[in-house]
Amino acid sequence: MTTERILLVDDEEDLLRGLKRTIERGFPGVEVVTATRPGEAIALAARQSFELALLDVMMPEMNGIALLERLKEHDPQLSVVMMTAFASVELAVEAITKGAYDFITKPFDKDVLIRVIAKGLERNRLVRENTTLKEQVCRQKAFASFVGQSAAMVQFQERLQTIALSDYTVLVRGESGTGKELAARALHSLSKRRNHPLVMVNCPAIPEHLLESELFGHKRGAFTGADRDHPGLFVEADGGSLCLDEIGDIPVGVQTKLLRVLQEQEIRHLGDTKTRKIDVRIIAITNQDLEKKIADRTFREDLFYRLNVVTLITPSLARIRSDIPLLVDYFSRQVCCEQGVGEKHFAPDAVALLVNRAWPGNVRELQNVVRQAVLFSSGDTVTAADIQIIVPADNGLIPTPPIWLSEGSGACPCYKEVKEQLLGRFTSQYVTNLLQYTEGNVSRAAELSGLTRAALQKIMRRSAIKASSYRHSGE
């Protein structure tokens, strides 16, 4: 358990020593740190955390109310008790208004002092526990849409959380349909800016001649139709995050002004002569090859490096193929809830078809297929036949294995020979798909297939299949 610390600040050293002894006797497990000057107290608070602070109101260097404000700036959750020999209603009201938890007068009544400190420490525990719970809920909400347990998905979530805790500009890249916008929202909700606005801008959706005004704002009369001042989206996002979706499509002229904003951290409204400082985190999204656009001179290289401070790449569905069964279940429950119908389940053969399909549209395409399957299936189980109606086998869902005939002889091979060939192909493909799904976990694969581990290993040896080939070491 972490040791709790109390900070005592008073310019009377004798009082500090006596107060320290009293508190240490009343709270044996608590560390008591003293300071005779406000500047010393501020330095201490910068180096370590405190659960409670007792501050004298009247001090020569800085009064206790000003010190209270400085400490609360550093740690808004800190419980602070003000101490004074000159109590007044006005002083008490000011202290509470500035964030003090309680007020105690000198000379101290020992029992009252112990009771106030006990309540202050308890209040701090509750506040910090509440904050921890809120952060956990926030983290769960942020990752709620990123379903999966594959190594690639776990690595992606860990990277996203690390980036979110920084305040760097982020470039979110990935194929279409991989959840780049969801990633941008998660970056904001997990950051220290989460209590400030997140402004989303779909750059191609705004006409070129209006994009500059929308981003940077304008003064009344700056152009025809500007009948009132418009602060712009940068001002709207001040203190928070501005997400620029499809950043690769913004005009070169706007790119130049955006570069200036990133360099100077200030904007100037159209038609204005003054600049305004802003505090905005930029999250840029693209599925385009920006390096190629730089070579084509349609995207500024210097802007690219300003945006690409930290890169977050959303994984394609091909990289998280083993998560498809979890995604299917998640989307199925989501659709049933949206439609107000009872839960529907996907049969194993239906899931197998979805796992083996190529998904050029990634997760978004999978979600649409699941929606249609749930919507149009007649029973409470979605079958492989339901899937094949939506995405036929000849549309890349599954390859149809050919029956190999003897070439050149014109003769049809015997039934037993063809059966063995097809059975061998089926067994090899089945075990391969199974190990892809379990990421090389033989025990899990045996459990899912209904085979014993020994029987599955025998098949693997016969087909020269190695479980290690399906284990992800670097993802």
DSSP code, position 221: T
Q: How confident is the model at residue 138 (pLDDT cuts 50, 70, 90)?
A: low
Per-residue pLDDT at 322: 86
Q: Residue ranges per domain, the chain?
A: 5-134, 145-313, 321-395, 415-470
Two structure tokens written together for 223: 């152009």
Cα separation, 267 vs 287, in Å, equals 27
Two structure tokens written together for 211: 């994009």
Residue range 397-407, pLDDT digits in tens: 444 444 444 44
Q: Regarding the domain with residue range 145-313, which homologous superfamily does it belong to in the CATH classification? A: P-loop containing nucleotide triphosphate hydrolases (3.40.50.300)
Percent pLDDT > 70 in the chain is 88
According to CATH, the topology of domain 415-470 is Arc Repressor Mutant, subunit A (1.10.10)
Question: Is pLDDT above 60 for 316?
Answer: yes
Two structure tokens written together for 248: 């690769």
Other CB atoms within 10 A of residue 55 CB: 26
Phi-psi region of 225 (alpha: psi -120 to 50; beta: other; left: phi over 0): left
Residue range 24-63, pLDDT digits in tens: 988 988 999 999 998 999 999 988 889 999 998 888 888 8
Looking at domain 5-134, its CATH architecture is 3-Layer(aba) Sandwich (3.40)
Residue range 351-394, pLDDT digits in tens: 888 988 888 899 999 999 999 999 988 888 999 888 888 886 54
- Calculate the alpha carbon distances from 191 to 187, 194, 307, 355, 448 in Å: 6, 6, 18, 34, 40
- Provide the 3-class DSSP secondary structure of residue 315: coil
Per-residue pLDDT at 414: 64
Produce one character per residue of 161-192: b if its CB has 16 or more CB atoms within 10 Å, e if not.
Answer: bebbeeeebbbbbbbebbbbbbbbbbbbbbbe
Q: What is the CATH number of domain 321-395?
A: 1.10.8.60
Length of the chain: 475
Other CB atoms within 10 A of residue 445 CB: 24
Of 240, 230, 234, 236, the residue nearest 260 (C-alpha): 234
Q: How confident is the model at residue 475 (pLDDT cuts 50, 70, 90)?
A: very low
Cα separation, 247 vs 337, in Å, equals 35
Q: How confident is the model at residue 133 (pLDDT cuts 50, 70, 90)?
A: low
Per-residue pLDDT at 195: 87
> Taking the model in full, what pTM does it have?
0.60
Mean predicted confidence (pLDDT) in 132-142: 59
Two structure tokens written together for 239: 């203190």
Element at 71 (helix H, strand E): helix 64-74
Residue range 443-463, pLDDT digits in tens: 888 888 888 888 888 888 887
Is 145-313 in the same CATH topology as 5-134?
Answer: yes
Q: β-pairing, 79-84 with 102-105? A: parallel
Mean predicted confidence (pLDDT) in 328-349: 89
Q: Which residue has the tokens 């002569």?
A: 273
